[in-house]
Structure 1
Amino acid sequence: MKTELNITLIARGCAITGDMVVDHGISFFGLLDGGIISTQGLLHVGEGGLVKGSAQGEHVRIDGRVDGDVHARGSLEINGQVSGDIFYSGTIRLGPRASLNGTLKRVARMLTIEADSTLDEGPIGGPRLDDVKGQERAESNVTELSRAKA
């Protein structure tokens, strides 16, 4: 049985205005003035990539910059800059070049993203995270991180 790997590549120099929702992996190296959701696979904001909105995915890797909240249902790796809150339910890895300005919250898996997300319901489909504060799992780690951008 052959497995196909579906990945969309957005190259440097591309500028997109509006929200993007894909049902497969995406590597983004351009400028996105809006949010991005990948319901399956890897969501990669590459070095030089800039997302001015939320970034949500199953597995998320930030090597560029996100000016908005980041939601990761599986794994999260940050080697770039994030200016916004981070919500994760799997593993998280901060690289030596990680720059964070926001809060880190471990949340229940069902609160991170849904395939049928709509813009009217909030960035993750279903209730907004700010409406369900206090409903995180008991073992949640909440850490305030404030680093000045270099």
Structure 2
Amino acid sequence: MKTELNITLIARGCAITGDMVVNHGISCFGLLAGGIISTEGLLHIGEGGLVKGMAQGEHVRIDGRVDGDVHARGSLEINGQVSGDIFYCGTIRLGPRAALNGTLKRVARMLTIEAESEQDQASIGTQRAAERPADERTEPNVTDISRAMA
């Protein structure tokens, strides 16, 4: 049985304006001026990559920079910069170069945003702090990579 790897690549030097929703993995090394949702697989913001908007995925790895909220339904690894609130359901790892400017919140999996219809996709990135559910947990659950590897 042949397995195909489905991944979208935004290469260095590329710039995309607008929101993106993909049903597979994505690696961004360029500029994305808009929100991004990956419904399955890995959402990777590589070194030199910049997302100016919300980033959401099952498994999220940030080696570049995100200027907006980050939602991770599974695992989250940050080795780059995030200027925005972080919402995660599973595990989180902060690397030695991680820089965070925002709040860190562990939430129930059902409280995460998911792309379900074209109407939902049109409103990507428009969720405001006042609209977030009041029952979100606010205590951090952070593991530093250096401690995890020791």
Please report the TM-score for the alignment, with normalisation by the length of structure 2.
0.84
The reply to whether residue 75 of structure 1 matches residue 95 of structure 2 is no
Aligned residues: 139
Deviation at 1:115, TM superposition (A): 3.4
Between 1:1-10 and 1:64-73, the stretch displaced more is 1-10
| Unmatched 5+ stretches in structure 1 | 144-150
1:131 shift after superposition:
2.7
- The CA distance in 1 between the partners of 2:10 and 2:132, in whole Å, is 34
Where does the alignment leave 5 or more consecutive residues of structure 2 unmatched?
142-150
Deviation at 1:121, TM superposition (A): 5.0
Runs ≥4 residues deviating over 4 A: 119-122
Quick one: which amino acid aligns to residue 135 of structure 2? Answer: Q
Superposition deviation, residue 128 in structure 1:
6.5
Cα–Cα, structure 1 residues 28 and 113, in superposed 2: closer, same or farther, change >3 Å? Answer: same
Provide, for residues 12-31 of structure 1, a one-character-per-residue CA deviation record: whole Å limited to 9, x for no partner. 00000000110000000000
Structure having the larger proportion of residues in strand: 1
SS of 2:135 mapped into structure 1: coil
Distance in structure 2 (CA, Å) of the matches to 1:19 and 1:132: 20
Letter in 2 for 1:141: E
CA pair 55-132 structure 1, distance change in 2 beyond 3 A: closer
Q: What TM-score results when the alignment is normalised by the length of structure 1? A: 0.84
Q: Which one has a larger percent helix, Structure 1 or Structure 2?
A: 2
The structural deviation recorded for 1:2 is: 3.5
Are the aligned partners of 2:53 and 2:125 in contact in 1 as well (CA < 8 Å)?
Answer: no
How far apart in 1 are the matches of 2:96 and 2:10? 25
Which residue number in structure 2 is paired with residue 107 of structure 1? Answer: 107
Q: Deviations over 1:35-72 (max 9, x none)?
A: 00000000000000000000000000000000000000
Indicate the residue corresponding to 1:148 in structure 2.
Answer: none
Is 1:135–2:131 an aligned residue pair?
no
2:32 maps to a residue whose letter is L
Partner of 2:91: 91
**Structure 2 counterparts to residues 31-70 of structure 1, below 5 A:** 31-70=31-70
Identity of aligned residues (%): 80
Over the residues paired in the alignment, what is the CA RMSD in angstroms? 2.1
SS at match of 1:110: helix
